[in-house]
Amino acid sequence: MVEQSMDGQARPRRSTLTDVAKLAGVSPSTASKALNGRSHVRAETRDRVLEAARQLSFSPNSLARGLLAGRTGTVGLLTSDLEGRFVIPILMGAEDAFGEGAVNGFLCDARGDTIREQHHVQALLSRQVDGLIVVGSRTDPRPSLGQDLPVPVVYTYAPSEDPQDLSVVCDNVGAGRLAIEHLISSGRTRIAHITGDPGYGASQERARGALAALAEAGLPVVGEVRFGTWSEGWGRAASAMLLDRHPEVDAIFCGSDQVARGVMDTLRERDRAVPDDIAVIGFDNWTVLSTNARPPLTSIDMNLQELGRTAAQALFDALDGSPRSGVEALPCRLVIR
């Protein structure tokens, strides 16, 4: 027979309410009342229970509590692609809204696979989560999980295709306006827009906002909006073409910081000064790129952490009986460097 405690590593058994009650010489029910601040307990008895709980470093079993209460204080965090850099700040914001242990989130990454997503949803429901936060990796609408779930769901970053669901997203159109209005207010009039993959809703919406702001100011866009890929290489290539055809350009709004870095590389090689000669504005405020640029890059920040917080708060509102639906857009923010 193997002696389990040979290694001296015997883990302390988790103590239960019954242990506490026994040590304090009361019944479990009285111990429960004492620990939860209920009345019908004498002050002296309460102290004895509290002391016993301290000695045993008792902490109540959330499983038992959740089983009884019908609420667990847990939510599912369902991402389609953890690798994407937009997901993390959103998760941080959500986690922030959860508070210190009052609510905890299960992290699930579906890796873009619908089947896997279904499995995760089932697993989360069987764990009796109080709700779900679905975090997309692109801003394009995604299929709904459906209306027949036993818990509320909030979609964020990527809205649900179903308007009955509640989605909390970034205002990409507004962000496009914001960038252009900033450039105009700093005296630029010959503004170009180089952005990423035209298949992304994000690039389309930002371009739409930018064009609207330009139109309102009575300004044309220099050249056409140049779609390509979300890469430095595209930024380099597109800006080279732009400078060839439109050397008069005095500002370039870029669809991402990566594109902006590429643009700045080309400008440097052609001895066009940034920002004196040509202003550059990026998108994402991805600090590893924007702060290391020469000069540091002004960029649009999507306030992703705030987005996560808002999504979590929306879920709590739904749990408190005030469900909303539709798409709610949060404004972006300009970070000037």
- Residue ranges that bind its own copies, judged by CB under 8 A: 9, 11-14, 59-64, 66-67, 72, 74, 77, 82-83, 88-89, 91-92, 95, 100-101, 104-109, 116, 119-120, 122-128, 147-152, 231-233, 258, 261-262, 288-289, 292, 323
* 40: partner contacted, choices its own copies, DNA, none (Cβ within 5-8 A by kind): DNA
DSSP state of 6: G
Cα–Cα separations (whole angstroms), residue 155 to 131, 160, 162, 166, 203: 11, 6, 10, 6, 20
Residue 111 touching DNA (CB under 7 A): no
Q: Which residues pair with 226 in a beta bridge?
A: 194
Out of DNA, its own copies, none, what residue 28 binds, judged by CB under 5 to 8 A for its kind, is: DNA
- Residue 18, interface with DNA (CB under 7 A)? yes
Judged by CB under 7 A, the stretch of 57-65, 187-195, 212-220, 289-297 that binds DNA is 57-65
User: Locate tokens 């004498």: which residue?
Assistant: 42
The option from DNA, its own copies, none interacting with 27 (CB < 5 to 8 A, set by class) reads DNA
Rounded Cα distance between 21 and 34, Å, is 10
3: three-class secondary structure by DSSP: coil
Beta-bridge mates of residue 334: 300
- Considering the complex, state which of residue 38 and residue 119 has its C-beta at the smaller distance from its own copies: 119
The residue range among 56-64, 109-117, 236-244, 268-276 that interacts with DNA, by the rule CB under 7 A, is 56-64
Neighbours of 130 (CB within 10 A): 19
Residues paired with residue 155 on neighbouring β-strands, in sequence order: 134, 167
Q: With 0-12 CB in 10 A as exposed, 13-18 as middle and 19+ as buried, what is 122?
A: exposed
- The minimum distance between CB 1 and DNA, in angstroms, equals 20
Is 307 a residue that touches DNA (CB under 7 A)?
no
Q: Is 57 in the site for DNA (CB under 7 A)?
A: no
Which two tokens mark 165? 């669901």
Interface residues toward DNA, by CB under 7 A: 14, 16-18, 25-30, 32-33, 35-36, 38-45, 58, 60-61, 64-65, 67-70
